[in-house]
Structure 1
Amino acid sequence: MSPVEMDEESVVTYEVRGSVAVVTLNRPRYRNAQNSKMTYALDAAFSRAVDDDDVKVIVLAGNGEHFSGGHDIGTPGRDIDQTFERKAVIWWDHTDKQGVDARIARESEVYLGMCRRWREIPKPVIAMVQGACIAGGLMLAWCCDFIVAAEDAFFADPVVRMGIPGVEYFAHPWVMNPRAAKEFLYTGDRFDAERALRLGMVNHVVPREDLESATFALAERISAMPRFGLALTKKAVNQAEDLQGMRSGMDSVFGLHHAAHSHNAEVGADSLAGMDARAMRDAAAKA
């Protein structure tokens, strides 16, 4: 077993347990809110796991009480104006641009582009979800092949409160069903783990104390399959989803997403309609 790489600056940690690589979001103080530093650390960890021939399966986890509270919209580590490395898409730097020119460049890379890149990882990826899996957290879980959820897990995409039609990786109608997706978005309500299971959004729901053991038991079973066979099977299922319109649907909604950002900036305080994490939480509490 390789040691866990963890210190105060490690927003993502990496560990290998036998044939399983464990990639862990490590901003527990902020519910593992995703800044660009975390996004690129995730990409590096996933690439490391792909390049290790001894790794057969990857587990994506979140340190602390929650898997992920979503995109970073207000912590001291928010880095929205920093440059990006342009690994997922070929686009210009955004930091000296304005308006949609800046937003679409950044979000094409670190949100939609990265999640699409990770969806195509040629090894099975299991999301191990406890507590909150909100907005950007959904994107991370949904680009994995499996989701094993603790009984205390809950899922929500409340960004319609900002006037925005869902997160950038718009997989909602495919990971559940269109009517459930509309309720999920229109209300901003939390779907608990059992409802997510009934809708087909997660594979298994287990007691919190069994989450790790159940996830690794599944990972070990998958590890016994031929590596190339797993890669081809993953590609086959992903292609079937895309033939059902998933990729083109995301492209169309991405445009609507940025129309909403632009509308907010034109008529209100900023592209997020003046909302931050606290305001989103308070609005949900009043619902």
Structure 2
Amino acid sequence: MNDLVEPKAVEITYETDEPILYEVVDGVAWITMNRPGFNNAQNGQMTYALDDAFQRATNDDAVKCIVLAGNGKHFSAGHDIGTPGRDLHHEFDKRLMFGTHTNKPAAELLYTREQEQYLGMCRRWRDVPKPTIAMVQGACIAGGLMLAWVCDLIVASEDAFFQDPVNPLMGIPGVEYFAHAYELPPRVAKEFLLLGERMNAARAYSFGMVNKVVPREELHEATNAWATKLAGQNRLGNWLTKQSVNHVEELRGKRSAMDAVFHMHHFAHAQNDLVKGDSIAGVSGKSAADSNKKAAAE
């Protein structure tokens, strides 16, 4: 499929009507990605369901902390580039002010869609006025990084790994929510992006990208302990503290950097389309997974 041409009628088959599970326990909202058969690959259906869940938790005064989790073996394998539920050309009710994408030609289609569904949504969730924790197990790849990075804290299992392989695979400089050089030291961020190799949880912890690493069987307990503690603290204090650190990141140019790289990202999409006839260089979910497994074995 060529993502940057006029939209075509594409059959979409959703394997579930509940791509997100939602539960509140003792003041903690548990938002769980629920596409375990596809390693929680993020399609539009899931993205908008995530937004609904974050909005629901924000509106509920009984919720004092939010945990983002992934059902199954992996937290998230990233954006959906090859499941039957890939809904690139499906229109959803917009949450931000970017307009319809499905009627746009060529590169404008992806540029419009990703302003909302990727960059815009992640910024929206980062600003939720309640503390958020990502509970990460297994793979946290590309688009999965974006979901973990918008959370205030990250608790990971010992078998978790983090990866952004889109440069080696597609010639694209990282995922749309470009926080790499804020989550990692610059030279390490370059390694992470240029080589696209897996970073294990212990190494991610050494750079401060992860707050705590525990055995997988202790992951839920450890995450819940922090969430429960945060839920018992002063609500306004938590919000102001979160805003304080976010503000420092903005003073360091985080938003401006993301805006600049977003345009580079879409220039690379357009280049792929012109040179290879496909905006993601012909990479499929299967070919990406096979490449990742091969690299991990070497």
TM-score in same-fold range (> 0.5): yes
Q: 2:282 aligns with which of 269, 274, 280?
A: 274
Alignment of structure 1 residues 238-257 onto 2, 5 Å: 238-257=246-265
- The total of aligned residue pairs comes to 280
**Residue identity opposite 2:99 in structure 1:** W
Q: Deviations over 1:59-91 (max 9, x none)?
A: 00000000000000010001010113221x312
2:80 counterpart of 1:75 = no
Alignment match, 1:61: 69
Q: Identify unmatched segments of 5+ residues in structure 2.
A: 1-14
- What is residue 51 of structure 1 aligned with on the other side? 59
Contact 1:188/1:284 (8 A) holds in 2 = no
Structure 2 counterpart SS, 1:61 = strand
C-alpha distance in structure 2 between counterparts of 1:11 and 1:145, whole Å: 23
Q: Shift in Å at residue 286 of structure 1?
A: 4.0
Q: 1:216 aligns with which of 217, 224, 228?
A: 224
Report the CA distance between 1:9 and its aligned residue: 1.5
Return the match for 2:144 from 137, 150, 167.
137
Q: Does 1:177 align with 2:185?
A: yes
Whole-Å separation in 1 of the counterparts to 2:162 and 2:271: 27
C-alpha distance in 2 between matches for 1:220 and 1:65: 24
Shift of 1:131: 0.3
Deviations 1:213-243 (A, max 9, x none): 0000011111222101111111111110011
Verify the 8 A CA contact 1:127 1:141 in the aligned structure 2.
yes
Q: Which amino acid aligns with 1:151?
A: E
- 1:15-34 residue pairs with structure 2 within 5 A? 15-34=23-42
- For 1:24 and 1:165, the matched residues in 2 are separated by 28
Secondary structure in structure 1 of the residue aligned to 2:90: coil
Which SS does the other structure have where 1:201 is aligned? Answer: coil
Q: Which residue of 2 aligns with 1:227?
A: 235
Structure-to-structure mapping, 1:70-219, within 5 angstroms: 70-87=78-95, 89-160=96-167, 161-219=169-227
Distance in 1 (CA, whole Å) between partners of 2:194 and 2:293 is: 16
Structure 1 counterpart SS, 2:135: strand
| % identical equivalent positions | 58
Maintained 8 Å contact 1:74/1:276: yes
Q: CA deviation at 1:209?
A: 0.3
Deviation at 1:8, TM superposition (A): 3.7
Distance 2:158 2:66 in 1: 22
Q: What is the aligned partner in structure 2 of residue 4 from structure 1?
A: none
Higher RCO by CA contacts (8 Å cutoff, separation 6 or greater): 2
User: 1:84 touches 1:106 (CA, 8 Å); kept in 2?
Assistant: no
Match of 2:32, SS? strand
Task: Normalising by structure 1, report the TM-score.
Answer: 0.96
- In 2: Cα distance, 1:233 partner to 1:283 partner: 41
RMSD over aligned CA atoms reads 1.1
**Following the alignment from structure 1 to structure 2, what is the Cα–Cα distance between the partners of residues 28 and 159?**
22
What is the TM-score with the length of structure 2 in the denominator?
Answer: 0.92
Give the CA deviation at 1:97. 1.4
What secondary structure does 1:14 align onto? strand
What amino acid does structure 1 have at the position aligned with 2:36?
A: P
Structure 1 261/8 Cα, relative in aligned 2: closer, same or farther at 3 Å? closer
Distance in 1, Cα, partners of 2:277 & 2:71: 33
Which stretches in structure 1 are left out of the alignment for 5+ residues? Answer: 1-6
Amino acid at match of 1:90: M
Q: Give the ranges of 4+ consecutive aligned residues of structure 1 lying more than 6 Å apart after TM superposition.
A: none
